[in-house]
Amino acid sequence: APFNTDTCEWACDEESYRRTDELLGGAVEAPDTDLVLTTTYDTSSDYQIEFWVRPKEVTEDWRNILFVRATDNECCEYRDRIPLFMFNPGETTLRVVVGSFESGDQVCPGRTESALPLNEWSQVRL
């Protein structure tokens, strides 16, 4: 389902991961820290983002997973976080921030209800 500010959807689907891994010839790996995937990115009022993540450890800091922004700022004006996926400190539950006109640091309603398992791939869909 497309994203809107009232809903967030999360999914863990092992079969989809296996199909992706087979398609890529077993090359599904985490990118390097601070890797820039693209310098251009277009969104609309309705969009969907889907990716796989495998938490390897729990840390006491916020851990960014995917951070998309249309400015040079990290926070907290409009277009600074469109969106930002991160692990909460001390756990592997996800926090999602999708900036809006009202708040550049608007937390998406809801989050994963339980921690994502360590050393296992989980699918995230917004």
What is the full per-residue pLDDT of the chain (126 aa) written as tens digits? Answer: 333 333 333 333 455 545 545 544 444 454 555 556 566 666 666 777 778 888 888 888 888 777 666 667 666 667 656 677 888 889 888 877 776 666 656 666 555 567 888 888 888 877
99-103: long-range contacts at Cβ-Cβ below 8 A with a sequence spacing of 24 or more? 100/5, 103/76
Cα 44 to Cα 30: distance, rounded to the nearest angstrom? 27
To the question of pTM greater than 0.75 for the whole model, the response is: no
pLDDT of 42 reads 65
- Total number of domains constituting the chain: 1
The residue assigned the tokens 């889907």 is: 50
Domain of residue 11 covers: 1-125
What is the Cα gyration radius of the chain? 15
Residues β-bridged to residue 4: 7
